[in-house]
Amino acid sequence: MKTSTKIKSFLIVFLLAVFAVITARHFIGLHFQKKFSVRPAPGIIIKTAEKSLFYKSVETFGTALAQSSKTYRIKKEDIVGNFNIDGRFVKKGEIIAALKDNEKIIADFSGKLGKREIAQGVLGSESLIITLDDLKKIIIDIKVPESYVGILKKGLKAEISSNTLKKIFKGKIESLSSRIDPSTRSILARVVVNNANYKIIPGQLMTVKIIYDEINQIGVPESAVTIQGKKAFVYIVRGEIAEKRDVVLGKRNFGKVSVLSGIDLGDKVIVEGISKVRDKSKVKVIKILD
């Protein structure tokens, strides 16, 4: 009888010990699960999906020329009175220089004057060559590869720039050649550029970008798009929850990519912090880009 009681007591103590161990392990597991698995929502930066202008372009080079130019050659000894040329602007009909015997050099059009000395030893080196350039508009003749003939037409927009001028000038195609040059397999196009501030100087080498296939589409920064194989997706934010959206992409311009389908105008798209985001996860918006 005593032996049986001892065995029962041992079994009860043993079971209680096992229960205590299991209970302790359960609560310790819950403690560490709560401590380490619950993390704060990742901070993200978002931007509202809006329409942007996207286009294709072809880039080439050309030399800037004045819309109208004329040269006047006069002898130095024939000049009468003060003779101011360099950097001078004249109007049509204004006197450029007064000469002997009541002769005058008259401006044929409004423009900017310049002067070119003839090198010593050259026949007629006692003369001056005066230049008159109409700089309000600049023309640039460019050669465009034959493969773009199908898209070129009068009136297409052009963006003109150079390494020395930190500005983009606006222009357009004024005319196209009726033939393709068989030696270069290119077609000649003339671009007219607005130069009302006279920044472009004749003779400058300019970069000309012809714009075509313009379209307004929903666009997002390229940083918002993740590409995996043949698929692309973005994350949008609704409330505090991130949602994964598969998207179809179009053109790319200026760090943006057009989205043909998958998101709507006005959606809040995550552009930074994507690596920490998962579909249906909670996020914290720390900044909204303009």
* Per-residue confidence band for 34, with pLDDT thresholds at 50, 70 and 90: low
Given the DSSP bridges, would you call strands 284-289 and 43-48 parallel, antiparallel or unpaired? parallel
SS3 state at 102 = helix
Q: Nearest to residue 245, comparing CAs of 216, 229, 224?
A: 224
pLDDT in tens, 72-109: 888 888 888 777 787 789 999 998 888 888 888 899 99
Q: What is the pLDDT of residue 55?
A: 92
SS3 state at 136 = strand
The answer to whether residue 268 is domain-embedded is yes
Do 99 and 141 share a domain, yes or no?
no
The answer to whether residue 9 is domain-embedded is no
The answer to whether residue 12 is domain-embedded is no
The answer to whether residue 3 is domain-embedded is no
Do 109 and 149 share a domain, yes or no?
no
| pLDDT (average), residues 195-224 | 93
The answer to whether residue 167 is domain-embedded is yes
| pLDDT (average), residues 264-287 | 92
* Per-residue confidence band for 119, with pLDDT thresholds at 50, 70 and 90: very low
Q: What is the pLDDT of residue 232?
A: 95
The answer to whether residue 1 is domain-embedded is no
Contacts 24+ apart (CB under 8 A), 94-97: 96/72, 96/130, 96/132, 97/72, 97/130
| pLDDT (average), residues 155-182 | 94
Residue 62 has pLDDT above 50, yes or no: yes
The CATH number given to whatever domain includes residue 157 is 2.40.30.170
The answer to whether residue 182 is domain-embedded is yes
% of the chain residues with pLDDT over 70:
89
Q: What is the pLDDT of residue 259?
A: 94
Q: Give the C-alpha separation, 135 to 259, whole Å.
A: 42
Do 141 and 209 share a domain, yes or no?
yes
Q: What is the pLDDT of residue 87?
A: 79
Q: How many residues does the chain have?
A: 290
CA angle 135, 141, 144 (to 5 degrees): 150
Do 277 and 246 share a domain, yes or no?
yes
Do 74 and 94 share a domain, yes or no?
yes
Do 142 and 207 share a domain, yes or no?
yes
The answer to whether residue 5 is domain-embedded is no
Cβ atoms within 10 A of the Cβ of 211, count? 15
Lowest model confidence (mean pLDDT) among 36-45, 118-127, 248-257, 278-287: 118-127
Q: Give the C-alpha separation, 181 to 281, whole Å.
A: 61
The CATH number given to whatever domain includes residue 272 is 2.40.420.20
Given the DSSP bridges, would you call strands 268-272 and 226-228 parallel, antiparallel or unpaired? unpaired
Do 158 and 210 share a domain, yes or no?
yes
pTM reported for the whole predicted model: 0.69
* Per-residue confidence band for 6, with pLDDT thresholds at 50, 70 and 90: low
% of the chain residues with pLDDT over 90:
59
Query: Residue 127 pairs with which residues in a beta bridge?
Result: 75
Out of 215, 235, 258, a domain closes at 215
Q: What is the pLDDT of residue 120?
A: 47
**Which structural domain range is residue 268 located in?**
43-54+216-289
User: How many domains, the chain?
Assistant: 3
Do 210 and 176 share a domain, yes or no?
yes
Do 223 and 178 share a domain, yes or no?
no
Do 92 and 130 share a domain, yes or no?
yes
Q: How high is the mean pLDDT of the chain?
A: 87
For residues 207 and 119, the model is more confident at: 207
Question: From the DSSP assignment, how many helices (H) and strands (E) are in the chain?
Answer: 1, 18
